[in-house]
Chains A and B, each alone.
Chain A
Amino acid sequence: MWGDPMNDLHWLGVMDLAGAIAAKKLSPVEVVSAHLARIGALDDRLRSYLAVFADTALAAARAAEVAVTAGRPLGPLHGVPVAVKDLYAVKGSPTTGGSRFLKEPAPADCTVVARLRAAGAIILGKLNLHEFAYGPEGINLHYGTSWNPWDATTHRMPGGSSSGAGVAVAAGLAPMGMGSDTGGSIRIPAACCGTVGLKPTYGRVSRAGVLPLSWSLDHAGPLTRSVADAAVTLAAIAGRDPADPSSAARPVPDYVAGLAGPVRGLRVGLLREYVEGSDPEVQAAVGAAAKALEDLGCRVEEVAIPAARYAPGASTAILAAEATAYHEPLLRRHAAEYAPDVRRRLLVGRFLTATDYVRGQRARRLIRDDAEAVLRRVDCLLAPTLPIPAPPLTATEVRIGGRTESPRVALTAFTRLFNLTGHPVVALPCGFSREGLPLSLQLVGRAFDEETILRLAHAYEGATEWHRRRPPAA
């Protein structure tokens, strides 16, 4: 089934690995060893990890192997190695946030890591990111920027801020990487690196123990190489957490069982404004995806969210104020140690007034009501994740059709809206550019209806081959 297991192991996904381990066809020690070997071989160049927990991961793998041999009950992720963005607290390891000055070991696992371990997963290490999650390009001046594995010769943006997760998952250095998304930071690296990225509904997954960027807009979620792997991960980490007052008490459905449900008859709203605002190659890819959904029996119609044009203003007012508020104590002591771009963005936030912030939160309610109204008419929305493929790291502007834009504005143009509204979004590959770079679409669902978008994304994946391609630089 797996050819040469020791050569193919790193391309097996979460569910395949868990199944093979439970069936005693693979040992957790083999699996973890294979991933550690691949990290050792490639990550000097790819720079997706900031810390690798080789000793503890192997010890956990040996314990996991004993449990399998002894016939003990196994969790859904038993023996599967995973990695987490270095915002997630892992007991005994510093949560650096991608900075140079946060060095204290975390006293305890954050809730997401604890739930991953409870499900049997093994924590391989901490993943690279744009410092303090404050950038969609995925740049890290302290540790080096992760290398997008889809271009072996030009250093392209891996996307941020969960850059390490995008690269590690795309290059087979982890079958799942936990990211965070405040303005697109799971979906942007997923799009740049050709992976699946799931931003659940706000409150679906606990943020406790995850370094915040903006409390109102932060979401925790996984990057994977398949929709099914995102579903099984979400099932393991979702649910009420008293340590996170924003976490929802709603029951957690069986997201994996839900993948097999029908998609015929689903009404899909194609966000016309976002398609028209994209590069022609992206437009063509999303258009082909819409046709594929119709072939699956969905009804695709064009929709618009009029208030979406105010998303940048509302998102800026909220994000800038909250990020600066969180970082003020750190800036007092460590301003010179921040990367200049992050420090400047934080300093800029000090010039917002309290009424600006409140205006942003009032606009957020209006924008969300607008999106909810559209989602009462259709079951989900379809849009490009990015208007362009991943630009070169050194790009100071990008061309989208006939206009130019800064990379930062372009990368967040279609993602920020759904951080404001809190709706669940899954980003997944929908094609490749002429240069061989991944293109991505996003499916947006109603609040707490991850099941529908995961089911539709899974069906789309089954009807296409995009997710099977492997990057040349890995």
Chain B
Amino acid sequence: MVTRETLERVVQALSPDIPVPPEDWEAIVPQVRRMLEAVRTLDELPLDEVEPASLYELER
């Protein structure tokens, strides 16, 4: 579950050199939830045999 506490632990564990200003947490927590919800919609796609797109494909 996405809470301020869990997100703070992630920040401390992975990138303590970029602290989150205390005043930002109120906005960040719901934004993280919305972001992850949006990304989870991609689970509905049939991606089994699909390779990632690359930066340069349209050039061919």
**Which B residues lie within 8 Å of A360 (CB)?**
39, 42
Please give the distance in Å from B48's CB to the nearest CB on chain A: 10
Q: Chain B 16-59 against A: per-residue CB contact (8 Å), 1 yes, 0 no? A: 01111101100110011001101111111111001111111011
Please give the distance in Å from A472's CB to the nearest CB on chain B: 36
Pick the contact of B50 from A309, A312, A366 — CB < 8 Å?
Answer: A366
Q: A216 CA to B38 CA in the complex, in Å?
A: 19
Asked if A332 and B17 make an inter-chain contact with CB atoms under 8 angstroms apart, the answer reads yes
**Which B residues lie within 8 Å of A345 (CB)?**
31
Most buried by A among B18, B19, B50, B54: B18
- In the complex, which residues 254-306 of chain A have their Cβ closer than 8 Å to any Cβ of chain B? none
Q: A359 CA to B47 CA in the complex, in Å?
A: 8
Asked if A344 and B27 make an inter-chain contact with CB atoms under 8 angstroms apart, the answer reads yes
Please give the distance in Å from A314's CB to the nearest CB on chain B: 6
A40: interface (CB < 8 Å): no
Q: A313 CA to B46 CA in the complex, in Å?
A: 15
Asked if A351 and B36 make an inter-chain contact with CB atoms under 8 angstroms apart, the answer reads yes
| Total inter-chain residue pairs, C-beta < 8 Å | 117
**Interface on chain B toward A: helix, strand, loop, or mixed SS?**
helix
Please give the distance in Å from A171's CB to the nearest CB on chain B: 33
**Interface on chain A toward B: helix, strand, loop, or mixed SS?**
helix
**Which A residues lie within 8 Å of B38 (CB)?**
312-313, 316-317
Please give the distance in Å from B28's CB to the nearest CB on chain A: 5
Please give the distance in Å from B18's CB to the nearest CB on chain A: 5
Q: How large is the interface on A (under 10, 10 to 19, 20 to 34, 35 or more residues)?
A: 35 or more
**Which A residues lie within 8 Å of B47 (CB)?**
359, 362-363, 366
Given contacts A246-B56, A316-B35, A336-B21, contact A351 B45 (CB under 8 A): no
Pick the contact of B35 from A215, A247, A352, A361 — CB < 8 Å?
Answer: A352
Pick the contact of A344 from B15, B24, B53 — CB < 8 Å?
Answer: B24
Q: A247 CA to B59 CA in the complex, in Å?
A: 7
- In the complex, which residues 328-345 of chain A have their Cβ closer than 8 Å to any Cβ of chain B? 328, 331-332, 335-336, 340, 343-345
Asked if A356 and B39 make an inter-chain contact with CB atoms under 8 angstroms apart, the answer reads yes
List the interface of chain A (C-beta within 8 A of B): 201-203, 215-216, 245-250, 307, 309-310, 312-314, 316-317, 320, 328, 331-332, 335-336, 340, 343-345, 347-352, 356, 358-366, 368, 422, 447-448
Q: Nearest 9 pairs between A and B by C-beta? A: A361-B52, A365-B53, A313-B41, A364-B53, A313-B38, A248-B59, A363-B42, A348-B31, A362-B50
Could you give 23 example pairs across A and B, Cβ below 8 Å?
A202-B58, A203-B56, A248-B58, A310-B42, A310-B45, A313-B38, A313-B42, A314-B42, A316-B35, A320-B35, A328-B18, A331-B18, A335-B19, A340-B27, A344-B27, A344-B28, A350-B18, A351-B35, A352-B36, A359-B39, A359-B43, A360-B39, A363-B47
With A331-B18, A365-B52 already in contact, 8 other A-B pairs whose C-beta atoms are closer than 8 Å: A246-B55, A328-B18, A350-B10, A350-B11, A360-B42, A361-B52, A362-B42, A447-B58
